[in-house]
Amino acid sequence: MSAFNILFVLVLAAYFAGATLHLLGVVAGRPGLRRLGNGLTVAGFAFHSADLAVLFASEGGAALLSGEFYFSLLAWSFLLIYFFLWWRLRLEMLGLLAAPLAVFLFLSSQAVTATRMPLPKALGGLFFGLHIGALFLAISLLAMACGAGAAYLYLERKIKTKEKLSGFSKALPALSTCDTVNRWAVAAGFPLYTVGLLSGFIWAKLTWNRIFSYDPKEITAIGVWLLFAFLFHQRLFLGWQGRKTARLAIWIFGLTLVSLLVINFFMPTHHSFARYIDGASNLPVWPQP
């Protein structure tokens, strides 16, 4: 078995075991299981980092043309943001979202490889790396805001109905902590999403001499940006907090997942992996204006 295959098994096993033990620890009220689950998730993240390094070292710049690399990198980004929030806020609860999402996306990266759907060569390069890097960090921040928003709404309903907090409910952080995650995610995520979107349009102009093509992926990305901009404005300048911002963060992340998973695979778009089966690498050439 190659080093790459060994790392794949280690990453998957550590992530899956970490997510399972974390969930069992929360439901059963066993802090020891939660800590063990977090430890395994950290180990999985270390293996995952090594896996990305091996992939890049073995393929060089060609890794940047692989759908496998980008899906794996997105899974890695989710956990990077989760660990940062865990370090700053001691918010273990977000691991219930981050670890399962990392497992799903990491497995998705292997599905892309199995069906041989490489990204076209035109999507490589440092400028596209800026586009992808900024967007992935923004999406990861949105995921954490979504998880914190769901926890906020759940806990708020429990408090309003005066239900006794037990089991899973007792493991949730205070409402103010959930709201803090939302504020941080919005404050950092919107500028990153803006950079990612603008760099993508500039890169498209340099590559195809066309900024906007009315592609479903581009239209959805602009819709996400508008909603994100509204949340950013209401949150930071008008003082929105609590239930409204929690709900909006959940909707924005949901739309982002539709863009990432549904449009990329099942709709006609020049961002789609399905257009490049069996190594085809040419993007559509639009008529010049």
Instruction: Tell me the C-alpha distance between 95 and 171, whole Å.
Output: 12
- What whole-number percentage of the chain has pLDDT above 90? 12
Compute the average pLDDT of residues 36-59: 83
State the DSSP H helix or E strand holding residue 206, giving kind and residue range, or none if neither: helix 175-208
Query: Over 90: is that where the pLDDT of 240 sits?
Result: no
Give the three-state DSSP class for 241.
coil
Q: Is the pLDDT of residue 2 over 80?
A: no
As a whole-number percent, the residues of the chain with pLDDT over 70 amount to 74
pLDDT at 280 over 50: no
Distance, CA of 108 to CA of 7 (rounded, Å):
16
Question: What pLDDT is stored for residue 156 in this prediction?
Answer: 86
| pLDDT(145) > 60 | yes
Mean pLDDT of the chain: 76
Query: If you average pLDDT over residues 121-150, what whole number do you get?
Result: 77
* Cβ contact 131:203 at 8 Å: yes
List the structure tokens of 116: 């041989």
What is the rounded average pLDDT of the residues 22-37? 80
pLDDT at position 18 over 70: yes
Query: Could you tell me if 245 and 186 are in contact, meaning their C-beta atoms sit under 8 angstroms apart?
Result: yes
**C-alpha dist (Å) from residue 43 to 13, 207, 272:** 10, 40, 32
Residue 143: is its pLDDT beyond 50?
A: yes
Confidence at residue 268, expressed as pLDDT on a 0 to 100 scale: 60
Radius of gyration of the chain (CA): 20
Per-residue pLDDT tens digits for 201-228? 887 777 667 776 777 778 888 999 999 9
Q: What residues contact residue 84 under an 8 Å CB cut-off, 6+ apart?
A: none
Interval 260-282 mean pLDDT: 55
Nearest-angstrom CA–CA distance, 198 and 204: 10
Q: Examine the pLDDT at 260 and tell me if it is beyond 80.
A: no
